[in-house]
Amino acid sequence: MKKFRLTAIILAMSLSAVSAFSCSDKTPSSSNGEISYIDPNKPVQQDPTKYSGDANKTNSAFGQEIEVNNTVFTLNSVVKVPDNVSDNDYIYINVTIKNKADIEYEISSLNNFFMALPDGTEISSDVRTKIHSLTNFTKCIDDYITIPANGEFTGFLAGGFIVPSGTDSFTIGFFPTLNDEVNKSEVILSPVSAENISTDDSVLK
């Protein structure tokens, strides 16, 4: 019985970690048309083959713009938020993604991102992760967004990755799938070290 009670407490704390990014309106406005939203009820694709595997790997320094497959990716910042119940930390990442193609395409927290730990273990973002846009004064969106042709997105993966407490180095992986969500032939890898990680969670509020 105690085990079930502890599990419930941990789940409640986990959900509160992303509360700053939650909202009841699933279709916030996008005043200048640079970013649009797809159906928030679309089922999440959890593809176990999405990790790096045999993908062609392109390294990108922290904060560096790198272009692969008509997509410019930048890992802007990383914030670590401790879980006061478990021995885990939440890793939130802020990214900018520019679409240089003449077609729009979707990205999602589960399909396009993963984390590689120093021991080589690759993990996906938490299933409750939401993508919080800092573009167009948007307050929250869901797991998927559409980046329009020649448009761009800047925002946080809210809830992000769950890692053991004390984890201070890892690599963020991003698949620039363009308009083919199953195309994992290319991956951008951005290493993160302790000096790149902020514990100031005020930027998330």
Q: What is the CATH number of domain 2-36+46-204?
A: 2.60.40.1240
For residue 194, give the DSSP letter: G
Encode pLDDT of 89-138 as tens digits: 999 999 999 999 999 998 888 899 999 998 888 899 888 888 877 765 34
Q: How confident is the model at residue 84 (pLDDT cuts 50, 70, 90)?
A: confident
Per-residue model confidence (pLDDT) at position 50 = 44
Per-residue model confidence (pLDDT) at position 51 = 63
Return d(Cα 74, Cα 77) in angstroms, integer: 9
> What is the domain partition of the chain in residue ranges?
2-36+46-204
pLDDT at 181 over 70: yes
Residue appearing with tokens 């910042």: 77
Per-residue model confidence (pLDDT) at position 86 = 85
Q: What is the average per-residue pLDDT within 32-49?
A: 35
Per-residue model confidence (pLDDT) at position 180 = 92
Beta partners for 82?
Answer: 89
pLDDT at 15 over 80: no
Return d(Cα 204, Cα 78) in angstroms, integer: 11
* Of 82-86, 152-156, 161-165, 192-196, highest mean pLDDT: 192-196
